[in-house]
Structures are given as structure tokens and as C-alpha cells.
Amino acid sequence: MNAEAVLKYILSQPQDALVNNPWALYQALDFYGRTSHLMNFKQAKLNVAKKALDSMQPAPKVVLEFGTYTGCSAIAWAAILRDLNGPFAEGLHVYTFELDEDVAAVAQELIRIAGVDDIVHVIVGPAAESLQKLVAEGKVTPKGVDMAFFDHWEKFYLSDLQLCEDLDLFREGSRVIADNTDIPGAPDYLAYVRAGGRGGEGNVKFETNSYESESGIEGRRPNMVEVSTVLAAKP
């Protein structure tokens, strides 16, 4: 589904209910995704992720998202960060990476309508390069990432996770969530987190759980989401 068509659909809806209402905008996108092929992070999977974030102490403030597309999940992360930290909390950031400039422009517009453009930063370009730049600029700091969400192309999941580790971005308790680990699938990524990470002294250690969620659309797959927790960060 082309991203401009998604924006057109949202703009055709009564705007009063959507403006500055990230949950309403997320629901509208999710509803659209039930009838059109929208590669958004569906409600049932979001519920799994939300549970993992709700149980974090301290509450999460900084999210990295690999794969923006129309901004549907980025809008949801921003809403969750606000709900967990209160409407006036400072230091809430969702850094979301998107390869395609035109798609990123649509996401930016939807994020603006949802009223979370103070929290969500859409960064155009290959995620690995964009992340290294953010760290070099001091915008993302060591042990400063509470959750990383992998939802771009599955072949990059493992190398981008390892990049986060090499940049020392995780703290104990950080969550790492990956979508579509069954189809198309990310077998190297799954094997890695199930083994607990690289192993050995001084490396990040993970525990992990696989969740099968209802896609909300009969017979539609993929529906697996992997939720990992950092048991030990780098010393």
C-alpha cells in the first residue's frame, strides 16, 4: 500500500477526533490496515509490546525504531511514553529510521497530526548509519535506550541489534522487540537472542520470549513477535 494513499485516507476522516490524539490516529491507521495491506504493527502485537513496556522500572523514555513506514507504530510508542511518564515529562524521544524519503514525509505529516512531533524524530537513511550519527552527535547516549524495536527488513535485525550493543546503548532491563520473526522470519536473530546474546564476560545478556498474536485478520500471517529483555548490560 502506498503511503500517500494512507495519508489521503486519514485526511478524509473527521479531523477533530484525530488531531493531537495519538491513540485515535493509531486506531484509525490500524482500522485501515485491516482492509488494505498496510504493513503496520497491528493492535494485538502492540498489546504484547505495551505489556513489556508497562512493566519497566523506571518507565521507558527513549525508543529506537528501525522501520518507520507511515509512522503508525512510532505514534503508538510516543503515546505509551506519554501515558507512562505523564503529559509534562521531559526527555521523551522516539528516534525512528526510514530509508525512503517520500514515505518518511508521510510519516512526518501523520506524526504532526497526532501531536507527537515533539517526541518522534523521523530520520531518513539506512538505520545503521543514522544511529551511528545520532550517537556521534550525543543525541543518543550510552545506556540511554530503553527499548529498541526492529521492524525494517529482517536481514538487518541481527546486525543492527549488535550495533546497538557495540555502541553500549542498553541498560539492564532495556527491552528489544522484533516483529515478523516467523514470516518472512529472522532465524539468525532468533537463534542469537535465544542463546542469550554473544556469550562471554562483559557482553550484553538477553532473556527472550516469543509471542504468537492474533493479527486481527483471519488467516493473515505473520503474527509472531519476539520480546527480549536485557538481563545484563555492558559493565
Residue numbers at the binding site for ligand SAM (CB under 6 A): 39-41, 67-70, 72-73, 97-100, 103, 126-127, 151-153, 156
Q: Which residue is nearest to ligand SAM (CB)?
A: 67
- Compute the Cα dihedral for 147, 152, 157, 162 and give only its sign: negative
In the complex with ligand SAM, which residue's Cβ is closer, 60 or 67? 67
- Residue 75 Cβ, how far from ligand SAM at the closest point, in Å? 8
Grid coordinates standing for 166? 557495540
In the complex with ligand SAM, which residue's Cβ is closer, 146 or 151? 151
Query: What is the residue-wise DSSP string for 24-93?
Result: HHHHHHHHHHHHTT-----HHHHHHHHHHHHT-SSPP-EEEEE--TTSHHHHHHHHHHHHHH-TT-S--E
In the complex with ligand SAM, which residue's Cβ is closer, 112 or 143? 112
- Residue 229 Cβ, how far from ligand SAM at the closest point, in Å? 21
Taking CA atoms, 5 is separated from 26, 55, 123, 124, 216, in Å, by: 16, 36, 21, 20, 22
- Residue 65 Cβ, how far from ligand SAM at the closest point, in Å? 6
- Residue 182 Cβ, how far from ligand SAM at the closest point, in Å? 14
- Residue 201 Cβ, how far from ligand SAM at the closest point, in Å? 31
Which residue, among 208, 170, 169, 227, has the nearest Cα to 50 in the 3D structure?
Answer: 227
In the complex with ligand SAM, which residue's Cβ is closer, 23 or 153? 153
**205, amino acid identity:** K
- Residue 200 Cβ, how far from ligand SAM at the closest point, in Å? 28
In the complex with ligand SAM, which residue's Cβ is closer, 97 or 192? 97
In the complex with ligand SAM, which residue's Cβ is closer, 2 or 209? 2
Please classify residue 128 by burial: count the beta carbons closer than 10 Å to its beta carbon, then call 0-12 exposed, 13-18 middle and 19+ buried: middle
Cα 27 from Cα 18, distance rounded (Å): 10
- The angle subtended at Cα 33 by Cα 31 and Cα 39, nearest 5°, is 145
In the complex with ligand SAM, which residue's Cβ is closer, 33 or 144? 33
Number of H helices, E strands in the chain: 8, 7
